Amino acid sequence: MKKFAKSFSHAANGIRQVYRSERNFRIESVLGIFVLLLSCLLPLSRTEWITVLLTIGLVLSFEILNTAVERLMDMLQPEFHHEVKIIKDLSAAAVLTVSIFAWLVGLVVFVPYIIRLTS
């Protein structure tokens, strides 16, 4: 049990670190909380809830991985290197891709409820 608690502590430290240092993670966290609050106000199905929760988790997880890749690359190659730039761009592209699909999920899940509420 001590090993699990220690692992959990390290993970929590990582989340605190990325929250403190990464503006995009803070923005995505606030947006995730907003989406969760909106979800609580609407009669989402179980499947919609699972989809929303997984989508928020994916966006935040990809942002954490992007941060890790960028820091690792900066540590391994402090000076500019074309290949490092490509690796960092690819990592950022992964976050952008999952974020675009998160918006699409949001549209698919929430727009029908909003249309019903406004009509």
Residues annotated catalytic, as ranges: 63
Say which amino acid occupies 110: F
Exposure pattern of 62-92 as b/e (b: 16+ CB <10 Å)?
bbbebbebbeebeeeeeeeeeebeebbeebb
Q: Which pair of structure tokens corresponds to residue 90?
A: 């690819």
> What does the angle CA 71 – CA 76 – CA 77 come to, to the nearest 5 degrees?
95
